[in-house]
Amino acid sequence: MGAFLEQPIAAASARAPNWLQAQQSSALAAWQQATWPSRHTEAWKYTSLKPLRDDYLFADEEAAAGSGVEYERFRELAKPVAGTCSLVFIDGVFCADLSSNELPDAIALCRFGEASEEQSTRIQQYLNSALSQDEHLFAALNTATLRDGVFIDIPNDYRGDAVIEVISIAGAQTKPVVSNQRLLVLAGAGSQATVVERFLSAGDPSASFATGVSELLLSENACLKHFRIHEESGSAIHIGGVHTRLARDARLESFHLALGSELKRLDLVVHHDAPGAHAGITGIYLPRGREHIDYHTTIEHAVPHCTTDEVFRGIIGDNATAVFNGRIHIHQDAQKTLAELSNRNLLPSNHAQINTKPELEIYADDVRCAHGATVAQLDQAALHYLQARGVARREAEMMLSFGFINELIDNVELDTFREQLRTLVTERYFQPAKQTQ
């Protein structure tokens, strides 16, 4: 893998807790044996890794400890939007000052660095159990260079309305930094909880590279609402993913939003491990300028009677590029599967590009599967209708684009967060003043 991240990799093992070291060495081996993806690698065909530098460093822990005035400027940014409880990391280093300490009683929540013996045993047992490090190279890199992480252990039958928010801010330092966020969620049998992950960049970010890897393990009949919101901009590069396992009758609702930056690649993987599981996955991507966003999703239906409902929509503006690869793999035993995948794209600009590929691989014969991908411009009839009511063309275009995205936000069941998402998208993407293109 050449000189890429040589220094952080060498320094990593000294920083992580001892009990993680075995996992780190095997991940490091996987990373070192892998070949660097190129355009000839199918999974990376439309996403170039060129924007990555090879001189990223770890952030200084001392500077990021949260006591300095410097980090005070992130207080507003690091406010939880939906959560009653938040953990804030700046360039991968936990910031106690900005985190909220109102932790829900019943939920055992800890950082890897402060895990008790019992907790560390559970983390060791479950970490990497939902992801294949051979297939997901950058997840292996994440494990290999891990120095901290968040472990959320939701007890059986928990039914609180606590919303736990993990906030990662990248690029707060002047040197190019690498950070590795790691989240492990164990949703106990019959539990119901909400977890929000947010990735932000500091006001005027210097180059940063983050690998955010999350594993969500849902036990029998657990119900988890999960949000992963990528708000980074500029040269805040992110390559990460969410890897999920669903036990019998488990129900996952996972919502994804990505605003653009130079390079963003996210792999979402769901394993239906036992009958009756359901995964609802919603995603929105909004690159513009010269930004690039790539979502690769894989749903593994290994057993009968599971359902998947996946909807992704994107607006690709200016010279931006986007990739959507939606794979649903229905194994031979997965009879009675119901799976739907829809990907719709709006291309308001002639120079924008989307590479979309729905991929259905079906080996069972009694299943119902539907998939569709569209690429279109704004509906002329709707534009005319708005204009006929006095709305100027530019504003009409914006209203229609917003409506296209808002339809998905409207379906978010968490009331407070739905409004926040709408505001975020409006302010960051649909603000008239910012539409200079």
Partner 1 sequence: MLVVKDLHAQVEDKEILRGLSLEVGPGEVHAIMGPNGSGKSTLGHILAGHPAYEVTGGSVQFDGKDLLDLETDERAHAGIFLAFQYPVEIPGVSNMEFLKAAVDSVREQREEPPIDSVTFMKRAREACKHASLPVEFLKRGVNEGFSGGEKKRNELIQMILLEPRLCVLDETDSGLDIDALQVVANGVNSMRGEERSFVLVTHYQRLLNYIEPDYVHVLAGGRIVRSGGKELALRLEDEGYAWLEDEVA
Sheet containing strand 307-315, edge to edge, reads: 93-94, 85-90, 163-170, 192-201, 223-230, 251-259, 278-286, 307-315, 338-346, 368-376
Nearer Cβ to partner 1, position 237 or 408? Answer: 408
Any idea what DSSP says for residue 74? Answer: G
Q: How far is the CB of 410 from partner 1 (least distance, A)?
A: 7
Cβ–Cβ under 8 Å, residues 230 and 144: no
Is 433 one of the binding residues for partner 1 (CB under 8 A)?
no
HSE at residue 278, side-chain half, CA atoms within 13 A, is 10
Strand duo 163-170 + 292-301: pairing: unpaired
Q: Which of 294, 283, 308 shows the shortest CA–CA distance to 237?
A: 294
399 lies in the site for partner 1, by CB under 8 A: yes
Comparison of 107 and 398: residue with beta carbon closer to partner 1: 398
Told to check if 434 binds partner 1 by CB under 8 A, we report no
Q: Which residue, 290 or 384, is less far from partner 1 as judged by CB? A: 384
Q: Counting contacts by CB under 8 A, is residue 426 touching partner 1?
A: no
**Which region, judged by CB under 8 A, interacts with partner 1, from 92-100, 170-178, 263-271, 396-404?**
396-404
Least separation in angstroms between CB 408 and partner 1: 8
Residue tagged 């690649």 (tokens): 265
The distance of closest approach from Cβ of residue 378 to partner 1 in the complex, given in angstroms and rounded to an integer, is 11
Give the start-end residues of each E strand in 192-250.
192-201, 208-218, 223-230, 236-246
Residue with tokens 């990505």: 258
**By C-beta, is 115 or 405 nearer to partner 1?**
405
Which CB atom, from 201 or from 343, has the smaller least distance to partner 1?
343
Contact between 252 and 216 (Cβ < 8 Å)? yes
- Contact between 363 and partner 1 (CB under 8 A)? no
Among 134, 410, 413, 427, binds partner 1 (CB under 8 A): 410
Q: Which residues are 330's β-sheet partners?
A: 301, 362
Smallest separation (angstroms) from partner 1 to the CB of 420: 17
Contact with partner 1 (CB under 8 A): which of 50, 380, 415, 436? 380
Query: Which member of 125, 389, 432, 436 binds partner 1 (CB under 8 A)?
Result: 389
Which residue, 410 or 427, is less far from partner 1 as judged by CB?
410
Over its C-alpha atoms, the chain yields an Rg (Å, rounded) of 21
Residues that bind partner 1 (CB under 8 A): 379-382, 384-393, 395-396, 399-400, 402-407, 410
